[in-house]
Amino acid sequence: MAQISTDWQAAKEFLEAGNVVGIPTETVYGLAGNALNPDAVLTIFRVKNRPSFDPLIVHTDSLEKLDQFVTSVPESARKLADMFWPGPLTLLLPKRDLISDLVTSGLSRVAVRIPNHTLTLTLLRSLDFPLAAPSANPFGYISPTTAQHVADQLGDQVPYILDGGSAGIGLESTIVGFEANQAIIYRLGGMALEQIEQVIGPVSVRTHSTSNPKAPGMLSSHYAPRKPLLLLAPGESPEPNARAGALVFRQPFGGINADYQRTLSPTGDLNEAAKNLFAHLRTLDSLPIDIIYAEPLPNQGLGWAINDRLRRASAQE
């Protein structure tokens, strides 16, 4: 099993030796490797069983370093970076040759971000290379929000997990790219749509792809538990079922065993709901039930991203 510790210097040694490690961020835990080392990048794909056509996100610690990896930064992208980095925002920008086609799945743009986690920022500042780091889970499964989640899923394949506590946001970063000067959201996430539009004006949303995605995290079926998940319509309640579980926003359903239900936020706090989403799905997946019913959330703030994850978790391959 992987060693779990708060020692970032140990993580640095593993990474410099070409290994992959689990790292904390404010969004979810990542499976990190040297983004400039093809063998390390290939190990990320192998450990996750991730298809090679699904690109990775590159993590760094400063805007100054960004120029090493990208050829240009549109004005709108610079405004977003100035406002929200470090934070749960990923920018899709034209890459330099230093970033291999393996990282970007052959695409001409690279996804980059600065994570808002003290321990991981300290680690990134100590390294001479950026880190490629998708979520630290088997491909398509629920994303991890604690070090133990990583160990439970990948522990025999990852030598070291840097323990930074529970993820503060609990949803992956929002991915924004630019086409013909138009900002496009490719993945809804921990940075709310409304926050982005307050800085750069209206944006388009283009979040799903069945194959050959233009950005990480766009596949239609993703973030899924092993148990079937059925996403209900707004206001819909499930039929009574002794073998069902439920993921609800504020109040449990009638007709479903209370022990088999998890509430995202009794007070209706969308930020709390986002933080609890993956952990509650993981718990429901471990219960002796045959199906998970999920209640949609209001389409506002982080509710957009939570509903996006629930739709994809309910999609059939």
Band (221; pLDDT cuts 50, 70, 90): low
The answer to whether the predicted template modeling score (pTM) of the entire model surpasses 0.85 is yes
Q: State the pLDDT at residue 208.
A: 67
Least confident of 133-147, 216-230, 241-255, 263-277: 216-230
Q: Do 213 and 219 meet the contact criterion of CB atoms below 8 Å apart?
A: yes
Please, which pLDDT band fits residue 1 given cuts at 50, 70 and 90? confident
Q: 304: Cβ–Cβ under 8 A, 6 or more apart, which residues?
A: 188, 192, 193
Average pLDDT over residues 129-143: 95
Q: Would you state the pLDDT for residue 76?
A: 96
Query: Residue 211: is its pLDDT beyond 60?
Result: no
DSSP of 113-139: E----HHHHHHHHH-SS-EE--BSSST
Q: Count of CB atoms within 10 A of residue 139's CB?
A: 15
Mean of per-residue pLDDT scores for the chain: 94
Sort 262 into a burial class: Cβ within 10 Å, 0-12 / 13-18 / 19+: buried
pLDDT at 219: 62
- Helix (H) or strand (E) run with residue 146 in it: none
Binding region: 27, 50, 59, 113, 133, 135, 143, 173, 187, 223
Residues 56 and 133: beta-carbon distance below 8 Å: yes
Which of these ranges, 80-84, 203-207, 252-256, has the smallest mean pLDDT? 203-207
Predicted pLDDT of residue 52: 83
Per-residue pLDDT tens over the stretch 43-85: 999 999 998 888 999 999 999 999 999 999 999 999 999 999 9
Paired with 139 in beta bridges are: none
Binding site for ATP, by residue number, is 50, 59, 135, 143, 187, 223
What is the structure's pLDDT at 300? 96
List of domains in the chain? 3-205 (3.90.870.10), 229-314 (3.40.50.11030)
Residue 206 binned pLDDT confidence (cut-offs 50, 70, 90): confident
User: Residue 267 pLDDT > 90, yes or no?
Assistant: yes
Nearest alpha carbon to residue 18 among 164, 146, 216, 160: 160
According to DSSP, residue 305 is labeled H
**Measured distance CA(144)–CA(225) in Å, rounded:** 12
What burial class does residue 102 get, using C-beta atoms within 10 Å of its C-beta: 0-12 exposed, 13-18 middle, 19+ buried? middle
Please, which pLDDT band fits residue 301 given cuts at 50, 70 and 90? very high
Q: Does pLDDT of 218 surpass 90?
A: no
Instruction: Give dist(CA 49, CA 64) in Å, integer.
Output: 33
Cα–Cα distance measured from residue 70 to residue 93, given in angstroms and rounded to the nearest whole number: 6
pLDDT for 212 beyond 80: no
CB distance 144 to 224 below 8 Å:
no
Q: Give binding residues for L-threonine as ranges.
A: 27, 113, 133, 173
Q: How many CB atoms lie within 10 A of CB 171?
A: 29
* Mean pLDDT, residues 231-258 taken together: 96
Is the CB of residue 156 less than 8 Å from the CB of residue 62? no
Residue ranges in 190-264 assigned as alpha helix (H)? 193-200
Tell me which residue of 12, 3, 19, 225 sits closest to 121, measured CA to CA.
Answer: 12
Stretch 216-226: mean pLDDT, rounded? 73
For residue 92, give the nearest of 217, 199, 202, 220 by alpha carbon.
Answer: 217
User: Is residue 317's pLDDT more than 60?
Assistant: no
Q: Hey, which residues does 4 pair with through a beta bridge?
A: 161
